A and B are shown apart, each in its own frame.
Chain A
Amino acid sequence: ILNVEQSPQSLHVQEGDSTNFTCSFPSSNFYALHWYRWETAKSPEALFVMTLNGDEKKKGRISATLNTKEGYSYLYIKGSQPEDSATYLCASAGANDMRFGAGTRLTVKP
C-alpha cells in the first residue's frame, strides 16, 4: 500500500504569518500530485494538480512545488488570513486510483 504522509498534522499561526506544509509520497509509479482545500462543513476543493518534477504552481497567496524524484511537495501560504483556515489535503494519483494524506489542519488567528 502506498502511503501519503502530511506534516504537520495541525498548525496555528497568526494573521499575516507565512506558513508551509509538507506532503511526502512514494516516488515510484508516480502520475500526479493533487492539493485540495477542505473547509469545515464543506467539500474538498482542488487547489493544484501537479505532474512534472520541478513544477511550481501559484494561486493568489498560495503556491506549491513538486519534487517527484525524492517524493515530496510543499504548499506555501503567504500572509495567512483567517479565511485560509481549513484542512489542506494532498493526494498521490496512480494510473487509476487516488491516495490521500490525512491532511494538515491550519488555523489562522486574527
Chain B
Amino acid sequence: EAQVTQNPRYLITVTGKKLTVTCSQNMNHEYMSWYRQDPGLGLRQIYYSMNVEVTDKGDVPEGYKVSRKEKRNFPLILESPSPNQTSLYFCASSPRLATHYEQYFGPGTRLTVT
C-alpha cells in the first residue's frame, strides 16, 4: 500500500531533550516536506527536500533540522525542543516538485513539549 508513515504518532517530552520524528514514504517520491499545524494558522512549511541531499528552509525553520540521506526517509530533528514547538506535525511527499503534483500526507505527530 502506497503510504507516508510517521513515528511516533504522539510524544510528550521536556524542554531541551533532543528528539527525532521519522518520516518514510514507499512511493519513490522525490519531494518531501514537513509542516506544523497550529490553531488558526493552517499548515506552515518547516523544511522541504527536492531530492536526496537537497533540503531547504520553509517559512518556519527555526529550531528544526532535517536530513535526506535516502530517498524514502526525511526525519525531522528538534535539537533542543521548547514549549513553542508544541504542535501537530505532518510529513508529506509528492512525485516531484509540489507544484503540479498533489501531496500525500502522513498521519501526523502530535508533540507536546513541557
Residues of A within 8 A of B (CB): 1, 4, 6, 31-32, 34, 36, 42-46, 49, 51, 89, 91, 93-103
Contact = CB atoms under 8 A, between A and B. Distances in A.
Given A32-B100, A34-B102, A46-B103, A96 B50 contact: yes
A40 to B, nearest CB: 11
Contact of A96 (B56, B103, B106): B56
B99 A95 contact: yes
Contact of A99 (B40, B50, B59, B104): B59
A42 B105 CA distance: 10
A43 B98 contact: no
Given A43-B90, A44-B105, A98-B33, A51 B100 contact: yes
Interface stretch (B11-19, B41-49, B76-84): B41-49
Interface in B58-114: 58-59, 90, 97-108
Given A34-B98, A49-B100, A89-B43, 5 more contacts: A49-B102, A98-B45, A100-B43, A100-B44, A102-B42
23 contacts: A6-B42, A32-B98, A32-B100, A34-B98, A34-B103, A43-B106, A43-B108, A44-B90, A49-B100, A51-B99, A91-B43, A93-B98, A93-B100, A94-B99, A95-B97, A96-B97, A97-B56, A97-B59, A97-B98, A98-B103, A100-B35, A102-B40, A103-B42
List the 8 closest A-B pairs by CB distance, nearest first: A46-B102, A43-B105, A102-B42, A31-B99, A100-B43, A93-B99, A100-B42, A32-B99
Interface of B: 33, 35, 40-45, 48, 50, 56, 58-59, 90, 97-108
Contacts of A101: 42
A97 B58 contact: yes
